[in-house]
Structure 1
Amino acid sequence: MPRSPLTLAALATAAVPGLDARSARAVADPGDYDTAVVTDAEGARWTVRAPRSLQAGAALEAESELLASLRHYVTSGVLSFTVPRISGTAVLPEGGRAVVHPAVEGAPLDVESLRPGPGLAADLGRVVASVHELPRAIVDDAGLPAYDAEEYRQRRMAELDEAAATGQVPPALLRRWESALEDVSLWRFQPVVVHGDLGPDQVLVARGRVSAVTGWSDARVADPADDLAWLLVSAPPEAIDSIMEAYQLRRTELTDKHLADRALLVGELALARWLLHGVRHGLDDVVADALDMLADLEDATREDAAH
């Protein structure tokens, strides 16, 4: 059963000495966490997250370790944005810990508002590139996963096989994806530190720039295309050049000529992963949503092929 905001406020009070919680509101969290924003007596806001499972608890511990390492790169100016700063933890009766940090500044990114030029679109490109330039040791030290290029291609193939086994992926899309995954030349990339779950809710914006990046529990050493896929799929087409140009300028020794192609493919494969999420958890509304999007993608690829 999800914890109430009042329960989470009590955990925040226990975690941070002197925190005088006055109100709390629940926050929707797509992960396996109970989350609330707590306001204290001085009007400061705090975010408290408590895992709902042992697996989520382990992920939260690893994320906390990573955030501690990332603070060095924030304070030294290597990263132009902030990340959550853990202020305290509270032991949970069933095991694991809740974590508390000051709420970070910014509003969720409005992807559709991106425009070409040196503004927010270019800043996004630099932000993603700066993550990819981080030393992989910070991921290794936090106990988070690391993959080489071939291992990662095999993981993608296994996901596609599982999606195909549902019998609900359009055959034309299956053929398209299988061909891309079997093209080894497409998957020659240098693994880097990736956030792993970038999206509008994790990228916060203030004063026309990225102010914070949250939700680091899926960080790993893997394919840089993972962090670019959502932007290349959802950003206005006219803004994509600005994103990619800024990204490439911020990267060192970038020789991945198939990066953008792979990012677009990863964006498409996200629909198969969404379908699998619905099937695995018996979520009929998620399955229906995924099938609608797969049908739309099939129509769009058919139209592209016709031209």
Structure 2
Amino acid sequence: MPDRSPQKLAALATAAVRGLDVVACGRAEADGADFDVAVVVDAAQGRWTVRASRRTAAAAALDAETGLLRGLQGRVPFAVPAVVGTVDLPDGGRCVAHRELPGVPLEPHDLRPGPGLAASVGRALAAVHQLDAALFADAGVPVYDAEEYRRRRLSELDRAAATGFVPPRLLTRWEAAMEDVARWRFAATPVHGDLVAEHVRTDGERLTGVLGWVDAKVADPADDFAWLAVGAEPDALESVLEAYAHARVEAPDPDLLVRARLAGELALARWLLLGLRTEDEEVVEDARRMLDELDSHADAAPLGS
């Protein structure tokens, strides 16, 4: 598996972007397990993000994301990365470079109720979920209906259970939520698929940009609320949901928040599976610690009760 240094990524960026004069570079705060990511600074003090895939599957996802980003330009009320240049990698895949989005990461616990930033987040999510699904399908991202996606989640849970590292009470809680088929009657929509603080940018008053679209798909709109359902204060989350519902043409399904909470909790199981797949003991231990912590604090009642 390649492990490219920021210096190597900076050199790739100069090949991808004609005339780019790099004067500084450093590793990005979040590089994930499937990508090498660096931030480079050009001679005019402009900042760039450079990403290169580490694995074949990640390379395909990065190509799909690049196509999707072109289609998203001008179709959402916030900035998305505009890929300026790409270069093929000698070991397969591609390296892409785009200008860094302005703003700071949006931490869910920083949201406050009211018509300001929280409402801006709700309107932004509504805009994504009302995009034409064909735009996503044409980019080559996955497309699921509600039942297909529920089964995908169940399969994911089975893999996590097989590790023996997930506390039994959490498994019971999650299984009950996923086997309650009535809660999975949603209309599949385009979703970002990996909304976390480092993928969302704000100027303090509104959501200004969203990056990290490599997990985009047509699936459950609740997925894009997972980070808020587990991290935002209830009153702030209510403001997000109110603005979202007001901006949507069709009313959100009544179980959206239940599935969002489930998705937020299941993110820990996916983190565990990722650590095992990449044989990263540090990730595995981090996931196990967070699962145990969730188990100790989770309400004994089923999700949505």
After TM superposition, what 4+ stretches of structure 1 lie above 4 angstroms from structure 2? 302-305
Q: How far apart in 1 are the matches of 2:291 and 2:8? A: 40
1:260-300 alpha-carbon deviations (Å, 9 max, x no partner): 11111111222222222233333333333333333333333
Structure 1, gaps ≥5 residues long:
74-78
Work out which of the residue numbers 54, 61, 64 in structure 1 matches 2:63.
61
Q: 1:236 to 1:161 in 2, by over 3 A?
A: same
Q: What secondary structure does 1:72 align onto?
A: coil
1:199-220 alpha-carbon deviations (Å, 9 max, x no partner): 0000011142111100001000
The percentage of counterpart residues that share the same residue type is: 54
Work out which of the residue numbers 263, 268, 281 in structure 2 matches 1:266.
263
Aligned pairs for 1:282-297 (under 5 A) are 282-297=279-294
- The Cα RMSD (Å) is 1.8
Letter in 1 for 2:55: S
Q: How far apart in 2 are the matches of 1:10 and 1:83? A: 24
Q: How far apart in 1 are the matches of 2:168 and 2:264? A: 18
Q: State the shift of 1:86 in Å.
A: 0.9
Work out which of the residue numbers 174, 178, 181 in structure 2 matches 1:177.
174
Structure 2, gaps ≥5 residues long:
none
Q: 1:162 to 1:115 in 2, by over 3 A?
A: same
Q: 1:50 to 1:299 in 2, by over 3 A?
A: closer
What's the counterpart of residue 230 of structure 2? 233
Indicate conservation of the 8 Å contact 2:108/2:227, yes or no. no
Q: State the shift of 1:44 in Å.
A: 1.5
Q: 1:160 to 1:141 in 2, by over 3 A?
A: same
Indicate conservation of the 8 Å contact 2:107/2:197, yes or no. yes
Letter in 2 for 1:135: D
What's the counterpart of residue 40 of structure 1? 42
What's the counterpart of residue 163 of structure 1? 160
Aligned pairs for 1:167-206 (under 5 A) are 167-206=164-203
Q: Which 10-residue stretch deviates more, 295-304 or 264-273?
A: 295-304
What's the counterpart of residue 92 of structure 1? 89
Work out which of the residue numbers 210, 215, 222 in structure 2 matches 1:213.
210
Q: State the shift of 1:170 in Å.
A: 2.2
Letter in 1 for 2:290: M
Work out which of the residue numbers 98, 107, 115 in structure 2 matches 1:110.
107
Q: 1:70 to 1:176 in 2, by over 3 A?
A: same
Q: 1:11 to 1:282 in 2, by over 3 A?
A: closer
Q: 1:20 to 1:295 in 2, by over 3 A?
A: closer
Q: State the shift of 1:95 in Å.
A: 2.5
Q: State the shift of 1:31 in Å.
A: 4.3
Q: 1:220 to 1:288 in 2, by over 3 A?
A: same
Q: How far apart in 2 are the matches of 1:14 and 1:193? A: 33
Q: How far apart in 2 are the matches of 1:36 and 1:61? A: 18
Q: State the shift of 1:304 in Å.
A: 5.7
Q: How far apart in 2 are the matches of 1:97 and 1:198? A: 23
Q: What secondary structure does 1:90 align onto?
A: strand
Q: TM-score, normalised by structure 1?
A: 0.92
Q: How far apart in 1 are the matches of 2:297 and 2:25? A: 44
Q: How far apart in 1 are the matches of 2:36 and 2:265? A: 29
1:85-133 alpha-carbon deviations (Å, 9 max, x no partner): 1111122222222111111111111222111111111111111111111
Q: What secondary structure does 1:43 align onto?
A: coil
What's the counterpart of residue 138 of structure 1? 135
Q: TM-score, normalised by structure 2?
A: 0.93
Letter in 1 for 2:210: V
Q: What secondary structure does 2:3 align onto?
A: coil
Q: How far apart in 1 are the matches of 2:267 and 2:62? A: 23
Q: State the shift of 1:238 in Å.
A: 2.3
Indicate conservation of the 8 Å contact 2:33/2:278, yes or no. no
Q: What secondary structure does 1:197 align onto?
A: coil
- The count of aligned residue pairs is 301
